[in-house]
Structure 1
Amino acid sequence: MDSYPVASSARLLRHTNAAAVLRLVWDRPTFTASDVIADTGLTRSTVLALCDELVGRGWVSELDDARAAGEYRMGRPARRYAFDPRSGRVVGVDAGQHHVTASVADLRGAVLGRAVRELTADASPATRVRTIRRAIEEAVADGGGAAGPAGAPAGPVLAVVLGVPAPTDAHGASPPGNQRRFWARMNPELAEQFADVGQSVTVENDANLAAVAEWTIGAGSGLSSFATLLSGERFGAGLIVDGTLLRGHHGGAGEMRLLDLVDGVGSADGLAHVARELVRHAADAGDLPAGSPLRAHDPATLDAADVFAAAQEGDAVALRIVDRLADRLARVCAVIASLLDVERIVVGGALSPALGPVVERATERLPSYIHPPVPAIVASGLGSDAVHVGAVRRALAVVRANPFDFELAREAATRA
């Protein structure tokens, strides 16, 4: 049996205990040694030593004692501490096909800065990389002035997560995809391109990150099995099953190419794309009556929300399109529910705030396509923010899992 020096074992135990205490107090406004003792069973001397260590390493700040804070009146005042959420920052990016949104947050997820930049659909990989980098730089600069408890500047960027409309493997790489190499264009080796931005850089599928956002603060909160369905230009799903995010060997779980084979659907084209196409077909066929509000829009740039607004006004063509979209959504939800037995399907993306009529009709139609129990279909309340919010949450989880792995970045920032 291998043996280890006692000193090494002691250092390892101290390291493990310090990390455990740090994770324990991460979300608490303040804490005392007694709070940590009650939750860990460690001795008072050990806890006080660990707290002093965390203060010295910059993760925790010591506050006024309990008596000065008015929380303790008799006996020896308790030392009070607080986790310092500004000791580091994380960056979450939605690197979509048409736009880039970058958010910078502290270590409790409070957004410090944000930037948005637009992209053309045919932007080159080099242009995508430049645009993403500019968005990150602007967001970091926007959030750089936020000070910590003692007026100290915000800490260094520790982890970066970029969401892309492509499957990604464990190393952040995407397969070539079809002959247009769409996935490779959306993810031109971004993990390597942005290795200089943070100590940890993760590239993840956008629907997976949307599912993380819904799971933590959205319509999937408290559920063990649900799907988040991005429904804009193309369908893509983030799948949480039995409390686990499904990814697959190449990160392709949730890719919806199987919809090419589904009767009544025929492709992975999303609701926004299909809405535009149906309006264009109606215009080409001369089926848009003179009084239709849809005649005021160029079908090439029509927003699906315009179709929904026209339907609310009672426009006959728009009402038929909404019905077609609802049937399409119901069939897609039936496929997901039949395969995975999820409790809920959250329809997300920028279109979600306007999806009420489509979701309502899809809910009515879904029972005719699958056997009970039938999952609920709901529109996301996060809208276009879901992917970058999920990216921030994922970045926080990366730091929180092994916080001391990020000591080098924090020490370098302190020296600078």
Structure 2
Amino acid sequence: MTRPLAGPQTLLRTLNGRAILESLARSGAQTRTELMDATGLSRTAVTQVLRMLDGAGAIAEAGVDRRARGPAAGRVTLHPQLGFAAAVHVDHRAAHVVLVDAAGVVRAEQHGDFPLNGDRVAHIAAFVEACRRDATGTVHLAVVGVPGIVTSDGSIRDDQGPDGGAFRTTLAERLGCPVRVENDVNLAALAELTAGVGAEMSSFSLLLLDDGLGAGTVIDGALHRGHGGVAGEIMYLPQSPLPVGAPLVNDQVVADLALGLGLDQDAPLATHLDAAEQGDDASGQIVAEIGKRIALAAGSIGLVIDPEVFILSGHAAHPALVEAIHRVAEEYAPRLPLRFIVSSFGPEAPLVGAVGEAASALRATLFTRILTPLDKSAR
């Protein structure tokens, strides 16, 4: 493991402080000896930085370590009242909100459907406020994953996603803190990159099937968003014999396929997936068609990007659909080998990604705020 950058206390005071804060965030409560091992700092440097951090209200005592020989050593941890970040996943039906601390630990959670014709921003803000009351602390920022195209400045393109382009500004005003908006599939890809099956891969494309089909692609270890945030919007990839501009798969496609087979048009995809897994032939035909469309979409991506693997997420990770996708992939393997694996996080992948990004942004915000007075005092 690479140690956080640290150096002489008189010249690199801020870096030493950040090294200790990052170590506490990553590993939890530690003794001075453990912090010395983690950062490479001397005992004197660790002691001086801890004294400064204690004066800034950044750390707190966390009991003693009685495992080591000799006198019990006191442990320190990040102060529990440093505050939180909100991680939010929004789809067309519901919102899921969690508060995380600087260590990435979830401290409160709320989830529920949007009211019909209600104010979605107000609904999300109410969830955040309920979480804040449960966790008792300040919310410093929010990271929100939404469906649709998100541009580089955090706007929601073409009014896609909840309440269109005004969503971020309105939510920031309601929450009283900065809000970062990100595409939900990109967040799912980040979750796999940092803590899932993609962590050891240099490139992959995550295919998430929910209300529609989207892709989040990592190239050379970095998420590829594209110039205008359009990268991964594969819902309308041309695919014979579908007419140009027709969606590959969404609720309407499922309804149309069900109608042609004499099944309930109002039944969601999840119902057909479960029925197909239990051997229902008609639902199996729906799943087979959707599996074919997803596999061919992956083939188009593979011919352009050639990722190491495709990660199936959301409904695409259902065993019945995974089997259907593999059948088509095997058929085309002699001409275009494609490898598919299942997401580590299933339907929760976008929220897991939002939690990771929110915790990282919170650490950057808090640690800069804590260490700025130390930096000034060193001048």
Q: TM-score, normalised by structure 1?
A: 0.77
Counterpart for residue 414 of structure 1:
none
Quick check: 1:356–1:379 contact (8 Å CA) kept in 2? no
Residue 166 in structure 1 maps to residue 158 in structure 2:
no
Q: Residue 26 of structure 2: SS of its match in structure 1?
A: coil
Aligned-pair CA distance for 1:345: 1.7
Residue 175 in structure 1 maps to residue 157 in structure 2:
yes
Aligned-pair CA distance for 1:358: 1.7
Distance between the aligned counterparts of 1:220 and 1:404, measured in 2? 28
**Across the two proteins, how many residue pairs are aligned to each other?**
362
Q: Give the direction of change, closer, same or farther, for the CA distance of 1:263–1:82 in structure 2 (3 Å limit).
A: same
Counterpart for residue 139 of structure 1:
131
For the pair shown, the structure with the greater C-alpha radius of gyration is: 1
TM-superposition CA deviations, 1:119-146 (whole Å, max 9, x none): 378x57xx222222222223333x32xx
Counterpart for residue 99 of structure 1:
94
Counterpart for residue 411 of structure 1:
none
Counterpart for residue 221 of structure 1:
199
Quick check: 2:149–2:160 contact (8 Å CA) kept in 1? no
Residue 386 in structure 1 maps to residue 349 in structure 2:
yes
Residue 263 in structure 1 maps to residue 240 in structure 2:
yes
Q: Give the direction of change, closer, same or farther, for the CA distance of 1:139–1:155 in structure 2 (3 Å limit).
A: closer
- Structure 1 letter corresponding to 2:239: V
Counterpart for residue 239 of structure 1:
217
- Taking the TM superposition and a 5 Å limit, the aligned residue runs for 1:9-408 are 13-66=12-65, 69-73=66-70, 78-84=73-79, 87-119=82-114, 123=117, 127-141=119-133, 143-144=134-135, 154-176=136-158, 181-183=159-161, 185-195=163-173, 197=175, 199-256=177-234, 258-259=236-237, 261-264=238-241, 267-270=246-249, 272-283=251-262, 294=263, 297=264, 299=265, 301-349=266-314, 351-352=315-316, 355-369=318-332, 374-407=337-370
- Structure 2 letter corresponding to 1:160: A
Distance between the aligned counterparts of 1:387 and 1:379, measured in 2? 15
Quick check: 2:100–2:355 contact (8 Å CA) kept in 1? yes
Q: Give the direction of change, closer, same or farther, for the CA distance of 1:352–1:382 in structure 2 (3 Å limit).
A: farther
Q: Give the direction of change, closer, same or farther, for the CA distance of 1:381–1:64 in structure 2 (3 Å limit).
A: closer
- Structure 2 letter corresponding to 1:389: V
- Structure 2 letter corresponding to 1:131: H
Aligned-pair CA distance for 1:31: 2.3
Quick check: 1:172–1:191 contact (8 Å CA) kept in 2? no
Quick check: 1:105–1:111 contact (8 Å CA) kept in 2? yes
TM-superposition CA deviations, 1:187-219 (whole Å, max 9, x none): 433145324526432111111111122223333
TM-superposition CA deviations, 1:86-111 (whole Å, max 9, x none): 53212111121121111112222222
Distance between the aligned counterparts of 1:314 and 1:166, measured in 2? 34
TM-superposition CA deviations, 1:45-76 (whole Å, max 9, x none): 2221111222232332234455xx342316xx
Quick check: 2:204–2:311 contact (8 Å CA) kept in 1? yes
Q: Give the direction of change, closer, same or farther, for the CA distance of 1:248–1:70 in structure 2 (3 Å limit).
A: same
Quick check: 2:24–2:30 contact (8 Å CA) kept in 1? yes
Aligned-pair CA distance for 1:168: 1.8
Distance between the aligned counterparts of 2:50 and 2:125, measured in 1? 38
TM-superposition CA deviations, 1:319-357 (whole Å, max 9, x none): 2222111111111111222222222222222x356x212
Aligned-pair CA distance for 1:230: 1.7
Counterpart for residue 4 of structure 1:
none
Quick check: 1:228–1:237 contact (8 Å CA) kept in 2? yes
Q: Residue 386 of structure 1: SS of its match in structure 2?
A: helix
Q: Residue 237 of structure 1: SS of its match in structure 2?
A: strand
Please list every run of 5 or more consecutive structure 2 residues that lacks an aligned counterpart in the other structure: 1-7, 372-379
Counterpart for residue 413 of structure 1:
none
Q: Give the direction of change, closer, same or farther, for the CA distance of 1:382–1:85 in structure 2 (3 Å limit).
A: farther
Distance between the aligned counterparts of 1:194 and 1:159, measured in 2? 9
Q: Give the direction of change, closer, same or farther, for the CA distance of 1:406–1:205 in structure 2 (3 Å limit).
A: farther
Q: TM-score, normalised by structure 2?
A: 0.84
Q: Give the direction of change, closer, same or farther, for the CA distance of 1:370–1:184 in structure 2 (3 Å limit).
A: farther
Q: Residue 262 of structure 1: SS of its match in structure 2?
A: coil
Distance between the aligned counterparts of 1:138 and 1:115, measured in 2? 7
Distance between the aligned counterparts of 2:200 and 2:343, measured in 1? 15
Distance between the aligned counterparts of 2:162 and 2:44, measured in 1? 55
Q: Give the direction of change, closer, same or farther, for the CA distance of 1:303–1:219 in structure 2 (3 Å limit).
A: farther
Q: Residue 12 of structure 2: SS of its match in structure 1?
A: helix
Quick check: 1:347–1:377 contact (8 Å CA) kept in 2? yes
- Structure 2 letter corresponding to 1:134: A
Aligned-pair CA distance for 1:163: 0.8
Aligned-pair CA distance for 1:165: 0.9
Quick check: 1:399–1:406 contact (8 Å CA) kept in 2? no
Q: Give the direction of change, closer, same or farther, for the CA distance of 1:100–1:11 in structure 2 (3 Å limit).
A: farther
Aligned-pair CA distance for 1:245: 0.8
Please list every run of 5 or more consecutive structure 1 residues that lacks an aligned counterpart in the other structure: 1-8, 145-153, 284-293, 409-416
Counterpart for residue 375 of structure 2:
none
Aligned-pair CA distance for 1:35: 3.1
Distance between the aligned counterparts of 2:332 and 2:251, measured in 1? 23
